[in-house]
Amino acid sequence: MAVLAGSTGLRRSEMFALRWSDFCFQTMQVFVTKSIVRNHIGPCKTPASRKPVPLHSTVLIVLLEWRSQSFFRNDDDFLFPSIRLNGAQPLLPDMILVKIIRPAVLRAGISGKRIGWHSFRHSLATNLRSMGVDIKVAQELLRHANSRITLDLYTHAVLIDKREASNKQLDMLMGSSICVPSSVPSAA
């Protein structure tokens, strides 16, 4: 779940509504056609949400491994089915957060942050921006209706990017031959 959410930025309602038939392993895409909220399956949030999402080959390998281990691996089965409900419904997203995701975050030594499913979307948006990915590409990967949503609500400035921008500005103003005193700690 974390690999899929982190690499695609799928909304939790979309990810938990996925069935194996929504994946095309030949074209390396997932077709998001439905969402599920409180065990009610309905349409996606927006028309932009229904666009196919590209998948990295590593994600496909993880998915195929998951499918080989799942009790429910037929095309019509949910990707993340509830075994307790005999696969008739997907797992509950909040239960996965409480029992698996948040404890894993704590084990990784991350504290003081409230992690939710939307954290994966925000992280993907921020990382894409930090890597210099074109905003239109990021918008379409996240399947936002417009790029303003991607920029204003989903991307967050990363300290190293802010420092680099500040350094470029100072270089432009002062010239690139600035002498840094030895008492200032280096960035390395």
Write down the domain spans for the chain.
Answer: 2-154
Are the C-beta atoms of 43 and 35 separated by less than 8 Å? yes
What gap in Å lies between CA 17 and CA 158, rounded to an integer?
A: 32
Q: What is the pLDDT of residue 162?
A: 67
pLDDT digits (tens, 9 = 90+) for 165-174: 777 776 777 7
With 90 as the cut, is the pLDDT of residue 138 above it?
Answer: no
13-46, pLDDT tens digit by residue?
999 999 999 999 999 999 999 999 988 999 888 7
Q: CA-based Rg of the chain, rounded to a whole angstrom? A: 20
Average pLDDT, the chain: 85
Q: How far apart are CA 167 and CA 7, in angstroms?
A: 31
Whether the pLDDT of residue 148 is over 80: the answer is no
- Residue 179 has a pLDDT of 56
Confidence band for 177, pLDDT divided at 50, 70 and 90 = low
Nearest to 77 by CA among 63, 61, 88: 88
Assessment of whether the complete model's pTM goes beyond 0.85: no
SS3 breakdown of the chain: % helix, strand, coil, rounded to 5?
50, 10, 45
CATH architecture of 2-154: Orthogonal Bundle (1.10)
